[in-house]
Structure 1
Amino acid sequence: MNKVHADAADAVADIPDGASLAVGGFGLSGIPAVLVDALHAQGATGLRVVSNNCGVDGRGLGVLLAAGRIQRVTGSYVGENKEFARKYLSGELEVELTPQGTLAERLRAGGAGIPAFYTPAGVGTQVAEGGLPWRYAPDGTVALASPPKETRQFQGDSYVLEHGITTDFALVRAWRGDRHGNLVFRRAAANFNPLAAMAGRITVAEVEELVEPGELQPDQVHLPGIYVQRVVELTPAEAADKQIEKRTVRA
C-alpha cells in the first residue's frame, strides 16, 4: 500500500514512446511540472496527450511540445502557447479541440467506466457534424478532419454522442497526499487534476505535502487512492515553485 516513489524520475521511468497521457492543470494552475520535467529528461516521444491546454512556452507541457515529444493533443484551449499554435497550424501536431465541459466529462466518464454519453454541447456545429481540422497540411489545407458523430433526440432535443477517455498514464499535482494515494487538491488547482487522475490506468501524483495514512480525514479526501498508483513527494522548493501565467494588478 506504500505507493511513494523515490523521486519523479523513478515514477515516470517506464512511460514508453507513444504512450497516452492525461495531464492535470489549467494554464499554469495545478500543473504537474516536476513530473513533466522528469518525463522530458526521460526522453519518451510520440506522446498522445489529453489536457485542457498544453502548458505555456517553456513551462509544463510546453517543454515537451517544444522538444517535439508530443504527437497529438486532445484539449479545449490553445491559450498562451505560441509554439502550440505554430505546430498545429503548420501541420506538425494533430489537435482534437473539444468543448471544455465535454472534455472534463469524457475524462470523468472514462475513469468511472462509462464508455460514452450524450451531451447537447456541440450540436449543430462541426463538433457534431464533423470537419474540424485535426491536422493541417504544410500548405494550410486540412489534411485530416474530425468525423461526424452520432446524434439522437431525447424529449425533443438533440444530443451528440461523446466517448469516455482512458489513457495509459496520468500525471497530476495535489496539495496533500498520503502513502496510500489519497489526494487533496487546493482551491483552483483542483481543476482537471481529479478527472485526469481517474482516466489514467497508471496515475502518478506529485504532492506538495506527504502525510501518513490516517492523517487525512475521509471527508477531506477529494480523490481516493484507488485511482492513484504512484506518489512523489516534492521538495519544499519544488512545492513553492508556482508561476503565474498572466499577472494583473490594479493601478
Structure 2
Amino acid sequence: MKILLIEDEIKTAKALGQLILSINPTAKILATIQSVEAAVKYIRENESPDLIFMDIQLADGLCFDIFKLVKVVSPVIFCTAFDEYALEAFKANGVDYVLKPFSRESLTAALDKVVHLKNFFQTHDNALPDLEVLLNKIEVRGKKGFLVFKNNKYLTIQTENIAFFYTHHDTTTITTFDGQEFPVNQSLDEIYQQLAPHQFFRINRQYLVNYTAVKEVEHYFTRKLVVSLSVDTPDKLLIGKDKTGSFLNWLDSR
C-alpha cells in the first residue's frame, strides 16, 4: 500500500509513519508534505497513492482547500486534534477520522477499514452505483435547535425558525423569522459546523443565512452580490466575488 502523509508537524508525521509501518510493514510512505500548496503540487505531478493520511489544519490553511484546487481520487484518513470538522471531512473522500494523539488501535482500525472497503468494491462490481443511489437519498441533518438565555429564562430556538445568525463586536445573535433576537454563546465558526450545509450559507464573516430566508439576490459593483432576506438585517448583505459562484450553486442545489 502506497501512502502519502500530509501533516505540518514534522515530529507527528514521523511518529505517524513509524506507527503505520509497524502495523503494516509492507506499506510504503511516498512522501511527507506540510502545506496545502505543496500537497496540490504533489497530487498534480504524481500518480495517486493508495491512501492519504491528511491533517486538517496545515501550515498555510485547512486541508479542505486542497480539494478545491485539485482532484483527489485517493481515499483519505483525516487526522486532527479536533472533531468539529467531521462532517466536512466525510464529504471530501474521507473514509475515517482519527483524533490525535494517535493510538495503535485507532490506526489499525482505520487501515483495516480501507482494506475492507477495497476488497468489497473489488468483489461487488455493482456496489458503486448502488452506493451512489444511497448517498443521493441521504439528507445531511444539522443541529435541531439552540439553547438560549434571555429575560432570566432558558429557551430552545428551533433551527428551522432561525432566519440568520450574525456577529457584531464578538457577540453572536440569532434572529428568527418573526424578528426576535437572542444572544448565543458560540462563535459563528462553531455554529456553522453544527448546521446542515444545504440549509445555511456563510455569506461573509458576519452572517450565516437560512435558505428559506433568502428573498432576492442582485448584482452589485465589482461582481459582488447583494442579498435581501425576508427579515430585516442590521447590515447590507454583500457577497464577495470569490463566493458568488458557490452561493448561486447553493441556491440552485435544491
Per the normalisation by structure 2, the TM-score is 0.25
Which structure has greater helix proportion? Answer: 2
The one of the two structures with greater contact order (alpha-carbon pairs below 8 A, sep at least 6) is: 1
Which structure has the larger Rg over C-alpha atoms?
2
